[in-house]
Amino acid sequence: MSSRLSLALALIALLCGIARADVVAPPPADEPVNLAVSVALLKNYHDSGRYLADLQYVDGKAEKIVARHASGKKLAVVLDIDETALSNWDEMLADDFAYFPAAPCRLVSGKLTSPCGAHAWDALEKAPAIRPTLALFRLAEARGMRVFFITGRHESERAVTARNLIAAGYVGWNPRDLLMEPDDMHVPSAADFKAPERKWIVEKLGYTIVANVGDQWSDLAGGYAEHDFKLPNPFYHIP
């Protein structure tokens, strides 16, 4: 067990131990989990292997769906990018799960400095593949399916995003199948962009989307896929 998690659990035990009738505190259901405890639990979830196991479970279910379909039909798989196809764990860890969109991001002796801005991190093109999703991608390609990436990243990041995907092992896809938000688009929910893109794939291009994979519920909302797969992501939320 990591020292951070041990400290967090010790803090919880201490707080429980000092609970007395003369100590006034909010009802437990009303007070959120302490931020330091939450960060320790997130790190333990990742480092313990449970996060990878959960990724493998969901992507494995998607693989079974893909494997059921014969080649030769107009079939497609849709993948989100961040925390679905690529992992931003190194950036999140450097920032203790804070979000800095416009800050710089530098490597010092191979280690990211903090703050590490999201866009600057993307520009480093160092996000590794989510390995179970990469396996799903390769299976879909081998089955003759067309793989589309639909991401909330903006068009201004197209070049760095494409190069990062290829460097991470996602090779052989058509550059036109990377669907990104226009730079001037700002939508209340990611679904407001992603669902119409899936509709275009189905109704205009004539594909059947057999699997739609994302780490946010908003990656999946809006339909136009036969099967939806929600990967774990307790690290951040996108409406």
Provide the number of structural domains found in the chain.
3
Identify whether the C-beta of residue 66 lies closer than 8 Å to the C-beta of residue 143.
yes
Q: Which of 126, 152, 179 is the last residue of a domain?
A: 126
Note the Cα 167 to chain centre separation in Å: 18
Are residues 120 and 226 located together in one domain of the fold? Answer: no
pLDDT at 33 (0 to 100): 87
pLDDT at 73 (0 to 100): 83
Are residues 122 and 108 located together in one domain of the fold? Answer: yes
> Domain residues for 34?
1-48
Are residues 193 and 150 located together in one domain of the fold? Answer: yes
Are residues 147 and 234 located together in one domain of the fold? Answer: yes
Global pTM?
A: 0.87
pLDDT at 25 (0 to 100): 55
How many other C-beta atoms are found inside a 10 Å radius of the C-beta of residue 43? 19
- For the chain, which ranges sit under pLDDT 70? 1-22, 24-26, 28
- Name residues whose C-beta falls within 8 Å of residue 82's C-beta, 6 or more positions apart in sequence: 88, 127, 151, 152, 153, 215
Are residues 72 and 110 located together in one domain of the fold? Answer: no
Identify whether the C-beta of residue 66 lies closer than 8 Å to the C-beta of residue 125.
no
Nearest Cα to Cα of residue 54 among 44, 45, 64: 45
Identify whether the C-beta of residue 78 lies closer than 8 Å to the C-beta of residue 231.
no
**Cα 84 to Cα 133: distance, rounded to the nearest angstrom:** 7
pLDDT in tens, 68-127: 987 778 999 999 999 999 999 999 999 999 999 999 999 888 889 889 999 999 999 999
Note the Cα 214 to chain centre separation in Å: 7
Are residues 103 and 122 located together in one domain of the fold? Answer: yes
Are residues 104 and 190 located together in one domain of the fold? Answer: no
Q: Which of 74, 109, 126 is the last residue of a domain?
A: 126
List the Cα angle 7/8/10 in 5-degree steps.
Answer: 65
Query: Looking at the DSSP assignment, which residues form a beta bridge with residue 146?
Result: 76
Are residues 63 and 174 located together in one domain of the fold? Answer: yes
Q: Which of 126, 156, 180 is the last residue of a domain?
A: 126
Are residues 94 and 78 located together in one domain of the fold? Answer: no
pLDDT in tens, 113-131: 889 999 999 999 999 999 9
Tokens 């730079």 correspond to 183
What is the domain-level CATH number for residue 157?
A: 3.40.50.1000
Are residues 74 and 97 located together in one domain of the fold? Answer: no
Are residues 5 and 70 located together in one domain of the fold? Answer: no
Are residues 69 and 42 located together in one domain of the fold? Answer: no
